[in-house]
């Protein structure tokens, strides 16, 4: 029998069904949990009376290294923000910067109770390395565009060939995998989207893209192709990979929702980014779930969000859906927590002594609402039986050194730009 990583004594645990348990708990290496008799061999035997144990948060749309761009272009709409800030800096992007930015964001994910990121960016090998070193789980999607980028200066064919190689070799790590990530229908021509989808199918990898983020994108697609973005992608057999993940999906018709549902695509709701960039609309959660679409939550990059704390995103998701649909029953705390932690195999503990968790209420029935709407400090993080964070201190990364390195790197990155 492998040694059990940890026992929490006199604690509280919320399981996958959002049922609250009280007592002594064992967290196992395979991600399962059980009640403790108090006499099992464990690596750590901890007082859990000040903690609530839950599944970890899952962030399905990130650009982790864009922490390098956080706090810039704050008053610009999407197109100007991309043209004036993001693309000029990204010309100077290097593999080292991507690895550093990814690790810095992973430190933020761990500190806020997230153990999985579905990431899209450049230099996927360094993205994967950052994820692996941090100890969390992740998908490292190499971004493909028709214009040359610093990671693929020769354009999309180079991107496809290099991604083919790294997908063949894999990451040699069970927690992190590579994916194919054509950026969007407005940055990739038809041929690129088809090749990207074929590559994903060949390696059975995830296929990540942005779709229907703005009305301009939708209108241009209709003008050019006589159909809407998801219909257009469907006409290219884009969804045949069966592992597609589409960020935003803010302007979908019912028919497009049915296409996503039929193809078991994941659609990622990113309300903060949509609101910050003033796109004027965001995903309709009730319509999407009614159509049977597998909806997930994502923060987008910290450049268009300023935070990759998925709990904040969850709160905003609930608020924008209630506001948009004039219905206060949408995404109640239980439904919201299930959505935010969907598929998690990991555990985090939150500080019950944090004033934001009070009052717990009769029968402690306010715990989940307080946790998801009021916040609380994340104390411990467990992935595959390894403790990445203990008592509010991240142990898998040298956060102090990463902060200093980030400060120095950003000075060079932005020289002559802002
Ligand atoms: Zn994005």
Note the pLDDT of residue 284: 98
Distance 247 CA to ligand 1 centre (A): 7
Cα of 300 vs centre of ligand 1, distance in Å, is 5
Write down the architecture of domain 4-55+344-400 according to CATH. Answer: Roll (2.30)
How many angstroms is it from 248 CA to the middle of ligand 1?
8
Whole-number Å distance, alpha carbon 409 to ligand 1 midpoint, is 22
61 CA from centroid of ligand 1 (Å): 6
Residue ranges per structural domain of the chain:
4-55+344-400, 57-337
Instruction: For residue 269, name the pLDDT band (cuts at 50, 70, 90).
Output: very high
Average pLDDT (109-119) is 98
Distance (Å) from CA 32 to ligand 1 centroid: 32
Distance 210 CA to ligand 1 centre (A): 6
| pLDDT for residue 268 is more than 90 | yes
The single residue listed with the structure tokens 């018709």 is 253
Peptide bond preceding 173: is omega within 30 degrees of 0, i.e. cis?
Answer: no
User: What is the value of pTM for the model shown?
Assistant: 0.97
Residue 401 CA to ligand 1 centre (angstroms) = 27
- pLDDT by residue (tens digit) across 231-267? 999 999 999 877 999 999 999 999 999 999 999 999 9
Reply yes or no on whether the pLDDT at 73 is more than 90. Answer: no
Ligand 1 mean position to 252 CA, how many Å?
A: 17
- Measure 172 CA to ligand 1 centroid, in angstroms: 26
- Six-digit token string for 278: 């003033």
How many angstroms does the Cα of residue 355 sit away from the middle of ligand 1?
34
Quote the ligand 1 centre to 67 CA distance (angstroms).
13
Going from the Cα of 38 to the center of ligand 1, the distance in angstroms, rounded, reads 46
Residue 3's pLDDT is 82
What is the Å distance from ligand 1's center to 121 Cα? Answer: 9
For residue range 148-191, list pLDDT tens digits in order: 999 999 999 999 999 999 999 999 999 999 999 999 999 999 99
Helices (H), 308-375: 310-325, 333-341, 367-374
Contact 102, 141 (CB under 8 A): no
Question: How far is the centre of ligand 1, averaged over its atoms, from the C-alpha of 129 (Å)?
Answer: 20
- pLDDT at position 418 over 70: no
| Span from the CA of 227 to the centroid of ligand 1 (angstroms) | 23
- Consecutive H or E run containing 44: strand 42-47
For 294-315, how does the pLDDT look when each residue is reduced to its tens digit (9 = 90+)?
Answer: 999 999 998 888 999 999 999 9
- Say what percent of the chain tops pLDDT 90: 88
Q: For position 10, what pLDDT does the model report?
A: 97
Distance between Cα 313 and ligand 1 center (Å): 14
Mean of pLDDT over the chain? 95
- What is the 9 CA–ligand 1 centroid distance (Å)? 41
> How far is Cα of residue 293 from the mean position of the Cα atoms in its chain?
18
CA of 301 to the centre of ligand 1 (A): 6
Cα atoms in the 13 Å half-sphere on the side-chain side of 56: 31
User: pLDDT tens digit string along 19-32?
Assistant: 999 999 999 999 99
* pLDDT reading at 36 higher than 80: yes
Stretch 11-25: mean pLDDT: 96
Could you tell me which CATH class the domain 57-337 is placed in?
Answer: alpha beta
Residue of 236, 142, 243 whose CA lies nearest to 202? 243
Ligand 1 centroid to Cα of residue 276, in Å, is 13
**CA separation for the pair 193, 345 (Å, rounded):** 32
The two three-digit tokens of residue 235, written as one number: 């006409």
411 sits in which H/E element: helix 399-413
pLDDT of residue 132: 98
Percent of the chain whose predicted confidence (pLDDT) is above 70: 99
DSSP string across 66-108: GGGGTT-STT--HHHHIIIIIHHHHTT--HHHHHHHHHHHHHH
206 CA distance to ligand 1 centroid (A)?
Answer: 16
What is the mean pLDDT of the segment spanning 318-327?
Answer: 97
Write out the DSSP string of 202-243: HHT-EEEEEES-SHHHHHHHHHHHSS-HHHHHHHTTGGGGS-
Compare 194 and 91 and report the one with higher pLDDT: 194
- Centre of ligand 1 to C-alpha 30, Å, is 31
pLDDT value at 366 more than 90: yes
Cα 89 to middle of ligand 1, angstroms: 16
- What distance in angstroms lies between residue 53's CA and the mean position of ligand 1's atoms? 30
CA-closest candidate to residue 14, choices 57, 63, 65: 57
Pairing of strands 4-14, 378-383: unpaired
Closest CA to 360 of 14, 56, 105: 14
Question: How much is the pLDDT for 221?
Answer: 97
Helix, strand, coil percent values for the chain (each to nearest 5): 40, 25, 35
Kindly tell me if the per-residue pLDDT of 227 is higher than 70: yes
**Residue 2 pLDDT:** 66
């Amino acid at each position: 029998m492998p040694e059990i990583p940890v026992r929490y004594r006199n604690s509280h645990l919320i399981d996958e069904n959002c049922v609250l348990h009280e007592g002594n708990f064992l967290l196992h290496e395979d991600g399962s949990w059980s009640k403790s008799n108090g006499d099992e061999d464990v690596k750590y035997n901890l007082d859990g009376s000040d903690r609530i144990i839950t599944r970890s948060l899952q962030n399905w749309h990130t650009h982790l290294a864009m922490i390098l761009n956080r706090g810039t272009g704050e008053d610009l709409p999407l197109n100007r923000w991309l043209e004036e800030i993001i693309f000029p800096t990204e010309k100077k992007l290097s593999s080292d910067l991507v690895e550093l930015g990814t690790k810095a964001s992973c430190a933020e994910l761990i500190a806020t109770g997230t153990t999985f990121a579905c990431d899209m960016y450049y230099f996927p090998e360094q993205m994967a390395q950052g994820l692996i070193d941090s100890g969390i789980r992740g998908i490292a999607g190499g971004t493909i565009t028709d214009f040359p980028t610093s990671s693929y200066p020769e354009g999309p064919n180079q991107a496809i060939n290099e991604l083919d190689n790294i997908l063949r070799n894999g990451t040699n790590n069970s927690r992190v995998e590579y994916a194919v990530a054509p950026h969007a229908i407005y940055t990739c021509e038809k041929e690129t989207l088809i090749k990207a989808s074929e590559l994903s199918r060949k390696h059975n990898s995830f296929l990540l893209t942005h779709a229907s983020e703005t009305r301009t994108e939708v209108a241009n697609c209709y003008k050019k192709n006589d159909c809407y973005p998801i219909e257009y992608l469907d006409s290219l057999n884009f969804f045949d990979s069966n592992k597609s993940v589409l960020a935003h999906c803010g302007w979908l018709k019912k028919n497009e929702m049915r296409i996503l549902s039929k193809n078991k695509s994941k659609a990622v709701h990113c309300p903060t980014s949509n609101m910050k960039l003033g796109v004027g609309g965001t995903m309709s959660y009730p319509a999407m779930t009614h159509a049977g679409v597998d909806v997930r939550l994502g923060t987008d990059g910290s450049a268009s969000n300023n935070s990759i704390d998925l709990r904040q995103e969850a709160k905003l998701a609930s608020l924008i859906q209630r506001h948009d649909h004039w219905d206060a029953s949408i995404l109640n705390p239980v439904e919201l927590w299930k959505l935010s932690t969907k598929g998690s195999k990991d555990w985090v503990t939150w500080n019950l002594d944090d004033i934001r968790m009070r009052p717990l209420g009769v029968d402690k029935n306010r715990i989940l609402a307080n946790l998801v709407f009021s916040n609380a400090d994340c104390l411990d993080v467990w992935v595959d039986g390894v403790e990445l964070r203990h008592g509010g201190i991240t142990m898998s990364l040298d956060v102090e050194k990463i902060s200093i390195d980030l400060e120095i790197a950003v000075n060079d990155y932005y020289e002559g730009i802002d």
